[in-house]
Structures are given as C-alpha cells and as structure tokens.
C-alpha cells in the first residue's frame, strides 16, 4: 500500500490498540479469503479518501480504513484531509474539473454541514457523473445538508438531516444475497454509535441493512447501495466513534463496499 496523506498520529490509545489487535489477528485469514475478488491482473485499486471537518477523529478513522482495507485487498490510497474542524469549508481539491478521473473509487468521510454553495457542490457531484464509484460514510450524509439543491442527496441515495442518541444498535440484514453483506453476523450489534434519521430513500437506492430507533422503534437504513448516473455508490450512516472504526465487521463491510463499487467483488 502507498498512502499519501496529511494526517497526524493516532490520538485514541484504546481504539488504536483494538485496531492493532484486529489487523494482527484477523487480517491474514481475511486477505486469503478475499484475494480472488480483490485481484485485477497486476493492478491495484487507486482509491481517494476525502476527509475532514467537524465532530470526529478523522486521523484515527483514516488510519483504520486505509490499513484494514489494504490488509484485505491491493489498494493504493491517497488521503486528503482538508477544511479544518468546522462545519463549513470549500477545499481546493475540487477546483480541477477532472479531480476524480485518476481514481477507481472515491471515499467521502467528511463533515461540512453548513457548506451550501450550489456551484461548489455541483463540482463535487460532477466528478462522479459518468462512472467514478464512491463509498460514503456517516457524516457525509449530513455534509451539505444546508444546501437548497438536492444534487448531493441524489448522489448519496439518502436524505438525512439529524441523528438520534448514541447506543449499541442491532443491525438487521435486509438483503442477505447482496455480496457486500456476505459474512455479516445475524446477531451483529454495533459499537456505540449514532443512528441517523433517514427522511428519504432516493429511487435508485437499495437498502441492505437497517437498525431500529430506541425512541420509537422505527427502522432506518444504515447500509445501502445507490446507482448514480452510471456510478455505483455504497453508503453507511455508521462511523461516528473510534470503536466503530475498530470493529472488524464494520471494517470488513467498508472494504467489501469499496470492492463492490469498483466492480471487483
């Protein structure tokens, strides 16, 4: 794995130890199991991770995602962590109209809820029109939620503007035959995380798994796939805590989502 990044050292010792244990114990067997799916004659997947913004330990999450996925598949990661730690930013990555063309998959794990300029948002979405696949994680669903246009929400496949309290949520698989969901335990319960309230599923999105609200027992999509103008998109609303990014089931789902979006699963 080659990783080009601008992120500091891990900041949460307990989560770092949990991730280290996962990589040491679990990764070798998983890599052997998934190798045939990940291989594409001599060519690594070129993946871009866009991250930064409010409310999360993006240094740890970036390390967790890049290390765990590269232990299972041949991935060449580029990490862009820009925009500070606020809720509003416009980063220069998207100034180039061809910003996404060199990548096989773009992972969005940013949190800029109050960025709302429509021209800026369209520059991002335009990078995926025509086929550049994506994986969207947690606060990416609340990013640009202040915008009046729906371009980003159509790309995500869901609309969400709020979340419920943190808890350990049981996950119910809705599409057991989907390749991304292979190996997910029927009794999987997340580490402590936030449940996002999904207002709308867009027409080309398919729910893979749900979790129920502890307040009203309403089931909300927590994993899904979307088809956006020729691009495959895999999404999850989980990913708030470092504990979630240390969970082997969650990390395996992210890796399988990356491979599926690229057509290699």
The Cα 265–Cα 260 span in angstroms is: 5
**How high is the pLDDT of residue 130?**
82
Beta carbons within 10 angstroms of residue 210's beta carbon: 19
Who has greater pLDDT, 77 or 37? 77
Work out the percent of the chain whose per-residue pLDDT is above 70: 84
What pTM value is reported for the model? 0.86
The Cα 125–Cα 164 span in angstroms is: 28
Who has greater pLDDT, 16 or 78? 78
Q: Classify 3-261 by CATH class.
A: alpha beta
Which residues in 148-218 belong to E strands, given as ranges?
158-167, 172-173, 193-201, 205-212
Q: Are 79 and 51 in contact (CB under 8 A)?
A: yes
Task: Kindly report each contact of residues 172-179 with a partner whose C-beta sits within 8 Å and lies 24 or more positions away, as own/partner.
Answer: 172/209, 172/210, 172/211, 172/212, 172/219, 173/208, 173/209, 174/207, 174/208, 174/209, 174/210, 175/206, 175/207, 175/208, 175/209, 178/206, 178/208, 178/225, 179/256, 179/260, 179/265
Q: Are 53 and 87 in contact (CB under 8 A)?
A: yes
**How high is the pLDDT of residue 42?**
55
Q: For residue 209, what are its two tokens?
A: 């798994």
**How high is the pLDDT of residue 56?**
96
Q: Residue 230: which pLDDT band, with cuts at 50, 70 and 90?
A: very high
Who has greater pLDDT, 95 or 33? 95
Residue 232's SS3 state is strand
- Which spans in the chain are helix H? 13-25, 27-38, 58-70, 118-126, 151-156, 248-261
**How high is the pLDDT of residue 124?**
97
Contacts of 57 (CB under 8 A, 6+ apart): 11, 12, 15, 242
The Cα 37–Cα 45 span in angstroms is: 12
Residue 51's SS3 state is strand
The Cα 147–Cα 61 span in angstroms is: 26
């Amino acid at each position: 794995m080659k990783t080009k990044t601008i992120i500091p050292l891990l900041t949460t010792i307990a989560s770092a130890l949990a991730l280290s244990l996962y990589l040491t114990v679990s990764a070798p067997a998983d890599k052997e199991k998934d190798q045939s799916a990940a291989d594409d004659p001599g060519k690594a997947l070129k993946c871009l991770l866009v991250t930064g913004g409010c409310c999360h330990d993006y240094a740890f999450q970036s390390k967790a995602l890049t290390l765990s996925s590269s232990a299972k598949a041949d991935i060449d990661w580029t990490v862009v962590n820009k925009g500070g730690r606020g809720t509003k930013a416009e980063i220069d990555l998207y100034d180039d109209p061809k910003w996404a063309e060199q990548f096989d998959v773009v992972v969005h794990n940013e949190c800029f809820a109050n960025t709302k300029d429509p021209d800026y948002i369209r520059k991002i979405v335009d990078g995926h029109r025509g086929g550049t696949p994506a994986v969207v994680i947690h606060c990416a669903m609340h990013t640009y939620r202040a915008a009046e246009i729906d371009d980003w929400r159509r790309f995500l496949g869901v609309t969400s503007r709020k979340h419920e309290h943190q808890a350990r949520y049981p996950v119910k698989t809705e599409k057991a035959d989907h390749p991304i969901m292979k190996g997910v335990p029927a009794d999987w319960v997340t580490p402590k995380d936030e449940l996002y309230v999904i207002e709308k599923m867009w027409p080309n999105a398919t729910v893979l798994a749900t979790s129920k609200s502890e307040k009203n027992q309403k089931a909300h999509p927590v994993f899904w796939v979307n088809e956006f103008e020729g691009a495959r998109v895999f999404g999850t609303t989980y990913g708030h805590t470092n504990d979630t990014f240390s969970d082997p089931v969650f990390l395996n789902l992210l890796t399988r989502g990356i491979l599926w979006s690229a057509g290699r699963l």
